[in-house]
Amino acid sequence: MSVRVGIVGPGGIAERHAGALTRAGAVLAAVAGPDRAQARAFAAAHATPGHGPPAVHPTAEALYGQPGLDAVVIASPHAHHAAQAEAALRAGLHTLCEIPVALGLREAESLARTSAETGRHLAVAHTLRHCAPYLAVRRLVEEGLRVTHVVARTLMLRQRDAGMDGRPRDWTDDVLWHHGAHAVDAALWFLDAEDVSVRAERGRPWEGSGRPMDAAAVLRAPTGALATIALSYHCRTPARDVVVIAEDRTLRLDGGRLLGPDGVIVDCGDGDRMEREGIDRQDRDFLEAITRDRRPGCAVADVLPAMRVLERWRSQ
């Protein structure tokens, strides 16, 4: 069975999804975006061999009404994710939503209920869960690694409205709900904790975006294990790393590598390659969840603990 997929939001991350879905055997059948020229160019560039270019729609709602679709990937601006995912599920479509699935806990919880009510999967693109170095740490946790402290830094320069590929866009990113969601989810995964206490701060709103561009938090699991998270969109010396401290060893995730006391454990090259391979695994898992009628590897219910942390972080 070839799963017929539509994509909402033909931007940079959508291009990676289009390639990953095609490599996994899906048919890209539709694309929706408000810029018709951009959507047509995307459709022409990502036609599935033997099936012709995907149909082009001006809105997500129009795409959802296309006969024969099985699933949709939502890669639109963050503020639209929750509403578009809700509508897709109610239209009977299995859904993979880019991070963040919502900009608030209440919306995320509502989406989890809708997914259960409709019997349609809602997977969330917490792609680090599908990246080889992160998977290796998680396996060690499942095998009994006693993590005492996770120290995660996500620091970059993102003062102008541009996506991961550098192309300008007409919406503003949010350090807490975007990269903060990645960091918090990974920290909880490594702590093997769903409910933590949160002590957090956000920097003052920056005049260039009207939003805080810096944030910091300390999480404490019921076991007493800690996570320290630092985020910035002002940083001119980028860093994206995680130090995992256990009672008997220390591990470091840096770029596409996992380093241990005896050297390199996993090496994916650079971080970009690691994430591309992670998207391949993630999208293949989503398709297999549909064809094999099983739960996705990262469903919306799995990210609710991270959403609870972000909600508390925002309110402090």
Instruction: Please state, in angstroms and as integers, the Cα–Cα distance from residue 304 to each residue in 73, 112, 181, 194, 299, following that order.
Output: 20, 9, 10, 9, 9
pLDDT of residue 93: 98
Gap between the Cα atoms of 143 and 141, Å rounded: 5
CB atoms within 10 A of CB 179: 23
CB 61 within 8 A of CB 87: yes
Note if the bond before 100 is cis, omega within 30 degrees.
yes
Indicate the Cα dihedral angle 17, 10, 103, 92, nearest 10°.
-70
pTM across the whole model: 0.94
**DSSP state at residue 52:** B
- In 10 A of CB 149, how many CB atoms? 18
DSSP-assigned letters across all residues of 129-184: GGSHHHHHHHHHHHTT--EEEEEEEEEEE--SSB-TTS-B-SS---TTTTHHHHHH
Q: What tens-digit pLDDT sequence spans the chain (316 residues)? A: 699 999 999 989 999 999 999 999 999 999 999 999 999 999 999 999 989 899 999 999 999 999 999 999 999 999 999 999 999 999 999 999 999 999 999 999 999 999 999 999 999 999 999 999 999 999 999 999 999 999 999 999 988 766 555 556 555 689 999 999 999 999 999 999 999 999 999 999 999 888 999 999 999 999 999 999 999 999 999 999 999 999 999 999 999 999 999 999 999 999 999 999 999 999 999 999 999 999 999 999 999 999 999 999 999 9
With beta carbons less than 8 A apart as the criterion, state whether 122 and 115 touch.
yes
**Domains of the chain, each with CATH number or no CATH:** 4-126+279-298 (3.40.50.720), 128-270+304-315 (3.30.360.10)
DSSP 194-236: S--EEEEEEPPBPTTTSSB-EEEEEEE-TTS-EEEEEEESEEE
Please compute, for residue 34, the number of CA atoms within 13 A of its CA located in the half-sphere on the CB side: 5
Length in residues, the chain: 316
147-157 sheet: strands from edge to edge: 197-202, 214-220, 226-232, 147-157, 234-246, 250-254, 257-260, 263-267
Residue 159 is predicted with a pLDDT of 85
pLDDT of residue 171: 54
pLDDT recorded at residue 188:
98
